[in-house]
């Protein structure tokens, strides 16, 4: 202990040191006075409190901070000892000294074991002794206190140490867990790394052997990696450093803008395809690539990149282009077809409007092309079309479009014309050029053309209408004599519209049974008897009344309705002929007109055979009329059909004879039974000697070939007399009766 204890007057006492506080609990007042006096002598500044009873002493001790207490062992009888016993507890900082009147070892032991530090005998007590007792007692008490305090501190340290140790142990085990986890993580990381390396190797191998081009680049299109396929595709030389290749340097000029757009899209994180054309590095050949790009975002180590897979679709593109060409061009001549022609017109419309110029569509077809095909064969026909297309291209300007619209139909689009006259000049040039002979396989072939012209903006503003109007103009050009050209005018459209309306009505007529057959009598000139009748079709129109065949048969032929109409005529005539054969005793023959279209049909004989069977008509009672031109059109087919009908037992007559070009000798080829002299000869023969000569020659020559002769359109007795004189066999005409319905004719027959 290094702390100075200030207890006496002889000692230097610091001013701040509080005075010694002393409690005296003496059993007798004289003891108290004696002790106080001695203490005063030993410690003049001591604050001394005297308590004559245990009760007040106990209270004072527990409340006050006494340095030392002198307690009589025999205070309040024996209670002094008890007070000494509790004093250390209630006043732990106070040094307790027992007081006895005289020395008694038993009492001393009692006092010390109760807790007193010493036991003083009042007898012989001196201030020096008291000074020592006080000094010793207080020092000891303070030492004990410090000891206790140190001890407490030690205990606290021990507790803290134990806690720290426990915490350390806990943390230690936590660290062990973390370390274990770390080591597992490390193993996993190593495994993942090795897997990643494996994958990388695999992907690299896959990428190098992939048929798909794989190209990694930065967001500007600078190469970071290329697999073998893309190198092959781009024709990258073997020793070339592909990292110096930029996408832009290979993409062809037109595709630069889409390329930049694609790079931006990919870099922004939108994957997708871009079709780009690139140039091969060695050959300079152009390849069409479909590039599918995806952006790989930047990482801590690497900048953002773009991964592109590229597939070469050049072959597909070529095939598509070829298909596109095929879809828009005629295979034979290589010329644009109708669809491309219409597109070109559409394309030129706005340019023509803008420039204030004219545009013309020329529509043309070849005269007698069908004859060339039929007589000389399709290969010759094809060659003729090719040569015609060449001549048309030569006539047209480079900026014109020459198209083949189908069959022998061609069209030319001339744009940027100063006036429609320029189209007329071209048309005239074409008419002349096409008419020059063609040399095909050593044969000289002739053809000719007529041309219809429509113009924009005068006639129409839609491509299809322009073509259709040029077609109408062509139709009119042909009607007005071949080998010329005609501009469209609005009246032609009216005619066509009327025809269309007629077509529709005619179609309905079949369904609503508006067709009728009239019969015109044929008379035997010598006997004057009614021996037959020609079946002539009429259309009982609900509004227009009776419509004659001259008006609707050509329309029916053109729109394909002639087939069902012709069939109806044959069937109705068969039925009527059968009726008459059943009611009349003398032979009676019904003539039926066959149209050219009907006659060309391959199954004509077959159909007629079926109708013979279904109606039960005797072919002997029927004559079919065909015209000269029908024989000329396709002689081989005509011979076949006529022999077929002849073998079935039908008679065959040549109608309107004399108007065509056939010679009588030519007729020998055909199984013909009768000639019908056209009414134009009959009507003029009495006025014009040439006609009279022709008529009598026809009759004579026909007879020389064993053919019957019918004179058509006999209107007066003079004509009849002349024909009788010339030995004409039969006559037909208004003189003998106009065409009438079957019932009317039947009445006349029964009256005869």
- H helix intervals, 377-518: 378-395, 421-435, 463-479, 490-511
Tell me the C-alpha to C-alpha distance, in Å, between residue 324 and each of 240, 255, 332, 648: 38, 21, 16, 53
At residue 190, what are phi and psi to the nearest 5 degrees? -60, -40
Q: Does 660 bind ligand C2E (CB under 6 A)?
A: no
Residue 401 beta carbon to ligand C2E: minimum distance, rounded to whole angstroms: 40
Q: Which of 32, 108, 656, 726 binds ligand C2E (CB under 6 A)?
A: 656
Q: Which residues pair with 72 in a beta bridge?
A: 99
| H/E element, 119 | strand 118-121
SS3 at position 245: coil
Q: Which of 284, 550, 661, 706 binds ligand C2E (CB under 6 A)?
A: 550
Nearer to ligand C2E, 67 or 625 (CB): 625
Residue 625 beta carbon to ligand C2E: minimum distance, rounded to whole angstroms: 6
Measure the CA–CA gap between 370 and 633, rounded to whole angstroms.
Answer: 9
Residue 685 beta carbon to ligand C2E: minimum distance, rounded to whole angstroms: 13
Q: Which of 39, 405, 569, 674 binds ligand C2E (CB under 6 A)?
A: 569
Q: Which residues pair with 99 in a beta bridge?
A: 72, 120
> Rounded to 5 degrees, what angle do the CA atoms 746, 748, 752 make?
115
Q: Does 545 bind ligand C2E (CB under 6 A)?
A: no
Tell the burial category of 497 from Cβ atoms under 10 Å away from its Cβ (0-12, 13-18, 19+). Answer: exposed
Q: Does 625 bind Mg ion (CB under 5 A)?
A: yes
Stretch that binds Mg ion, among 16-24, 226-234, 496-504, 654-662 (CB under 5 A): 654-662
SS3 at position 483: coil
Nearer to ligand C2E, 115 or 660 (CB): 660
Nearer to Mg ion, 140 or 708 (CB): 708
Q: What is the DSSP letter of 23?
A: E
Instruction: Assess whether the previous peptide bond of 467 is cis (omega < 30° from 0).
Output: no
Residue 655 beta carbon to Mg ion: minimum distance, rounded to whole angstroms: 4
Nearer to ligand C2E, 278 or 562 (CB): 562
Residue 660 beta carbon to Mg ion: minimum distance, rounded to whole angstroms: 12
Q: Which of 92, 303, 734, 741 binds ligand C2E (CB under 6 A)?
A: 734
The contact mask relative to ligand C2E for 256-285 (x = CB under 6 A, - = no) is: ------------------------------
Contact between 745 and 519 under an 8 Å Cβ cutoff? The reply is: yes
Measure the CA–CA gap between 550 and 537, rounded to whole angstroms.
Answer: 10
Q: Does 293 bind ligand C2E (CB under 6 A)?
A: no
Nearer to ligand C2E, 576 or 595 (CB): 595
Nearer to Mg ion, 369 or 681 (CB): 681
Residue 663 beta carbon to ligand C2E: minimum distance, rounded to whole angstroms: 21
Residue ranges in 489-508 that form contacts with Mg ion under rule CB under 5 A: none
Contact between 70 and 25 under an 8 Å Cβ cutoff? The reply is: yes
The contact mask relative to ligand C2E for 682-721 (x = CB under 6 A, - = no) is: ------------------------------xx-x------
Residue 514 beta carbon to ligand C2E: minimum distance, rounded to whole angstroms: 14
739 is in the binding site of which of ligand C2E, Mg ion, none (Cβ under 5 to 8 A by kind)? ligand C2E
Residue ranges in 571-630 that form contacts with ligand C2E under rule CB under 6 A: 593-595, 625
Exposure string for 722-749, b = 16+ CB within 10 A, e = fewer = bbeebebbbbbbebbbebbebeebbeeb
Q: Which residues pair with 162 in a beta bridge?
A: none
Residue ranges in 667-726 that form contacts with Mg ion under rule CB under 5 A: 712
Q: Which of 67, 118, 623, 655 binds ligand C2E (CB under 6 A)?
A: 655
280 is in the binding site of which of ligand C2E, Mg ion, none (Cβ under 5 to 8 A by kind)? none
Beta pairing class for 622-627 and 305-312 = unpaired
Contact between 573 and 622 under an 8 Å Cβ cutoff? The reply is: yes
Q: Which of 467, 739, 742, 749 binds ligand C2E (CB under 6 A)?
A: 739
Q: Which long-range contacts (CB under 8 A, 24 or more apart) does 8-11 make?
A: 8/42, 8/43, 8/131, 8/135, 9/43, 9/44
Nearer to ligand C2E, 655 or 729 (CB): 655
Nearer to ligand C2E, 32 or 625 (CB): 625
Nearer to Mg ion, 383 or 712 (CB): 712
- Structure-block tokens of residue 518: 């009239």
Residue ranges in 525-544 that form contacts with ligand C2E under rule CB under 6 A: 535-537
- The residues, any chain, with a CB within 8 Å of residue 541's CB and separated by 6 or more, are 505, 509, 514, 547
Q: Does 655 bind Mg ion (CB under 5 A)?
A: yes
- H helix intervals, 446-561: 463-479, 490-511, 549-559
Nearer to ligand C2E, 459 or 678 (CB): 678
Q: Which of 656, 657, 677, 726 binds Mg ion (CB under 5 A)?
A: 656
Q: Does 175 bind ligand C2E (CB under 6 A)?
A: no
347 is in the binding site of which of Mg ion, ligand C2E, none (Cβ under 5 to 8 A by kind)? none
Cβ neighbours around 364 below 10 Å, total: 26
> Rounded to 5 degrees, what angle do the CA atoms 578, 580, 585 make?
115
553 is in the binding site of which of ligand C2E, Mg ion, none (Cβ under 5 to 8 A by kind)? ligand C2E
Residue 624 beta carbon to ligand C2E: minimum distance, rounded to whole angstroms: 10
Q: Does 593 bind Mg ion (CB under 5 A)?
A: yes
Stretch that binds Mg ion, among 110-118, 176-184, 419-427, 647-655 (CB under 5 A): 647-655
Nearer to ligand C2E, 127 or 549 (CB): 549
Cβ neighbours around 89 below 10 Å, total: 10
Q: Which of 143, 203, 548, 666 binds ligand C2E (CB under 6 A)?
A: 548
CA dihedral 85, 87, 92, 95 (to 10 degrees): -90
Pick from 390, 361, 369: nearest CA to 452 = 361
- Structure-block tokens of residue 541: 């129109």
Residue 547 beta carbon to ligand C2E: minimum distance, rounded to whole angstroms: 10
Residue 706 beta carbon to ligand C2E: minimum distance, rounded to whole angstroms: 23
Residue 643 beta carbon to ligand C2E: minimum distance, rounded to whole angstroms: 21
Q: What is the DSSP letter of 5?
A: P
Tell me the C-alpha to C-alpha distance, in Å, between residue 734 and each of 220, 520, 728, 743: 97, 9, 17, 18
Task: Give the footprint of Mg ion on this chain (CB under 5 A).
Answer: 593, 625, 655-656, 712
Task: Give the footprint of ligand C2E on this chain (CB under 6 A).
Answer: 520, 535-537, 548-550, 553, 566, 569, 593-595, 625, 655-656, 679, 712-713, 715, 733-734, 739
């Amino acid at each position: 202990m290094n702390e100075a204890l200030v207890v006496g007057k002889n000692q230097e006492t610091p001013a701040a040191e509080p005075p010694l506080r002393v409690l005296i609990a003496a059993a007798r007042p004289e003891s108290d006075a004696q002790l106080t006096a001695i203490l005063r002598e030993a410690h003049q500044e001591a604050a001394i409190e005297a308590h004559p009873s245990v009760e007040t002493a106990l209270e004072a001790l527990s409340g006050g901070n006494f340095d030392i207490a002198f307690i009589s062992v025999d205070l309040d009888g024996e209670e002094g000892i008890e007070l000494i016993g509790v004093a250390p507890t209630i006043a732990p900082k106070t040094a307790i000294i027992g007081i006895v009147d005289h020395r008694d070892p038993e009492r001393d032991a009692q006092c010390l074991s109760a807790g007193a530090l010493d036991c003083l005998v009042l007898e012989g007590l001196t201030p020096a002794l008291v000074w020592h007792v006080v000094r010793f007692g207080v020092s000891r008490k303070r030492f004990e206190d410090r000891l206790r305090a140190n001890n407490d501190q030690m205990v606290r340290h021990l507790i803290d140490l134990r806690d720290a140790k426990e915490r350390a142990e806990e943390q230690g085990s936590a660290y062990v867990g973390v370390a274990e986890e770390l080591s597992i993580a490390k193993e996993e990381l190593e495994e993942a790394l090795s897997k990643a390396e494996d994958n990388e190797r695999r992907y690299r191998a896959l990428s190098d052997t992939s048929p798909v081009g794989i190209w990694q680049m930065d967001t500007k299109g600078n190469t970071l990696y290329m697999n073998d396929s893309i190198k092959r595709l781009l024709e990258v030389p073997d020793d070339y450093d592909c990292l110096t290749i930029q996408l832009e340097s290979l993409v062809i000029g037109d595709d630069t803008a889409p390329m930049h757009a694609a790079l931006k899209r990919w870099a922004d994180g939108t994957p997708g395809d871009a079709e780009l054309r690139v140039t091969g590095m060695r050959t300079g050949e152009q390849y069409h690539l479909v590039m599918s790009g995806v952006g790989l975002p930047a990482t801590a180590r690497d900048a953002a990149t773009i991964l592109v897979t590229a597939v070469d679709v050049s072959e597909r593109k070529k095939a598509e282009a070829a298909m596109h060409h095929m879809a828009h061009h005629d295979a034979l001549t290589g010329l644009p077809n109708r669809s491309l022609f219409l597109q070109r017109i559409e394309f030129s419309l706005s340019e023509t409007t803008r420039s204030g110029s004219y545009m013309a569509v020329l529509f043309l077809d070849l005269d007698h092309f069908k004859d060339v095909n039929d007589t000389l064969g399709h290969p010759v026909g094809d060659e003729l079309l090719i040569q015609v297309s060449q001549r048309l291209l030569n006539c047209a300007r480079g900026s014109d479009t020459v198209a083949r619209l189908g069959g022998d139909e061609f069209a030319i689009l001339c744009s940027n014309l100063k006036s429609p006259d320029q189209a007329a000049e071209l048309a005239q040039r074409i008419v002349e050029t096409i008419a020059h002979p063609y040399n095909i396989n050593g044969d000289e072939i002739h053809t000719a053309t007529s041309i219809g012209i429509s113009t924009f903006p005068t006639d129409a503003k839609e491509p299809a209408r322009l073509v259709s109007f040029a077609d109408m103009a062509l139709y009119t050009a042909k009607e007005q004599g071949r080998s010329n050209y005609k501009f469209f005018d609005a009246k032609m459209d009216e005619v066509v519209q009327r025809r269309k309306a007629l077509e529709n009505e005619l179609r309905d007529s079949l369904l609503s049974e508006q067709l009728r057959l009239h019969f015109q009598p044929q008379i035997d000139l010598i006997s004057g008897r009614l021996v037959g009748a020609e079946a002539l079709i009429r259309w009982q129109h609900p509004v227009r009344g009776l419509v004659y065949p001259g008006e609707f048969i050509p329309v029916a032929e053109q729109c394909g309705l002639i087939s069902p109409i012709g069939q109806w005529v044959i069937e109705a005539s068969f039925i009527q002929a059968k009726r008459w054969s059943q009611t009349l005793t003398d032979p009676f023959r019904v003539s039926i007109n066959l149209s050219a279209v009907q006659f060309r049909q391959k199954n004509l004989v077959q159909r007629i055979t079926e109708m013979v069977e279904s109606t039960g008509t005797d072919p002997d009672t029927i004559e079919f009329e065909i015209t000269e031109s029908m024989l000329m059109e396709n002689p081989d087919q005509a011979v076949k059909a006529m022999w077929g009908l002849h073998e079935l037992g039908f008679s065959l007559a040549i109608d309107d004879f004399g108007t065509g070009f056939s010679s009588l000798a030519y007729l020998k080829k055909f199984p013909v039974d009768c000639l019908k002299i056209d009414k134009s000869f009959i009507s003029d023969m009495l006025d014009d000697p040439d006609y009279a000569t022709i008529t009598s020659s026809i009759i004579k020559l026909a007879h020389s070939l064993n053919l019957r002769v019918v004179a058509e359109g006999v209107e007066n007795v003079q004509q009849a007399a002349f024909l009788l004189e010339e030995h004409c066999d039969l006559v037909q005409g208004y003189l003998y009766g106009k065409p009438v319905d079957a019932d009317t004719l039947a009445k006349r027959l029964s009256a005869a």
